Structure 1
Amino acid sequence: MTEKRNIKELVDVIRSKNAGPYELTFDLIFKDFKTYEAVKSSGVINKSLIAKLYDIDENKVISVINYDPAKAIKATIERPCSAGAIGETDVYGAQQHAPLLSLKILM
């Protein structure tokens, strides 16, 4: 039986952080290799999905990579404005993972 499961049930860690002053990176670290492999092979976490979640053009999604040793998927995007710029609200990029929390994955 397959059902949609919230990403929070599947991962131990969801985080965001700076990847330099002009980029943000997001890490999804899965609870186990079986779940990681299932999500990875589904291809559901891709540039198109990240662009949709963050309401940005797909060309602003720099990469979505799978890192097998850590059972992790990492996405990197261009920051909407550089870290520390006037009007910027999260200099460390640590509060930008919220859109990922609503992600549902068919398992």
Structure 2
Amino acid sequence: MHEVLQDLATEVRSKNAGPFWVTLEVFLRDEAAYAVAADPGFLDGEVVARLYGVAAAGVRIFRVPSLNVVKISFPRPVAQGSLRDRDIHAGQHHVPLALLPLPA
């Protein structure tokens, strides 16, 4: 039984998209998993904003059905390499998204 988003994915990762943006990518196992993850009723800007403490208006979600991929970008809370930056490569930002509970 699938309980969190990572259970539907082959990979969930995050990376820098320049010094001011983070990109998250969810590579889904198949079309059925993609249908769940790409559903705007499940994953939208409000959900991402809540998970990462960012403004929903700044969240960009790209759904790529031909690849079974959902890509999310949002402004970094602090600039890359700044004094308060705790993850300079944004390599750990994917964890809250990967652990997002699936709909019942």
With normalisation by structure 2, the TM-score equals 0.87
Q: 2:87 aligns with which of 68, 87, 90?
A: 90
Instruction: Write out aligned runs for 1:29-44 (5 A).
Output: 29-41=27-39, 43-44=41-42
**Contact 1:4–1:104 (CA under 8 A) maintained in structure 2:** no
Runs of 4+ with >4 A deviation: none
**What residue in structure 2 maps to residue 11 of structure 1?**
9
Aligned residues: 104
**Contact 1:4–1:106 (CA under 8 A) maintained in structure 2:** no
Cα distance change of structure 1 residues 31 and 58 upon mapping to structure 2, 3 Å threshold: same
Instruction: Write out aligned runs for 1:1-107 (5 A).
Output: 5-41=3-39, 43-61=41-59, 63-106=60-103
More strand by share: 1
- Between Structure 1 and Structure 2, whose CA radius of gyration is higher? 1
**Contact 2:2–2:8 (CA under 8 A) maintained in structure 1:** no
Q: Secondary structure at the match of 2:82?
A: coil
Q: Distance in 2 between matches of 1:8 and 1:64?
A: 17
Cα distance change of structure 1 residues 41 and 90 upon mapping to structure 2, 3 Å threshold: closer
1:42 is displaced (CA, Å) by 5.4
- Give 5+ residue unaligned stretches, structure 1: none
Superposition RMSD on alpha carbons, in Å?
1.8
1:12 is displaced (CA, Å) by 0.8
Q: Distance in 2 between matches of 1:96 and 1:41?
A: 21
Q: Secondary structure at the match of 2:38?
A: helix
Query: CA-to-partner distance for each residue in 1:30-52, whole Å, 9 max, x for gaps?
Result: 01112212332453111011001
Report % sequence identity. 25
Query: CA-to-partner distance for each residue in 1:51-96, whole Å, 9 max, x for gaps?
Result: 01112221232x0110122201111010011111122121111111
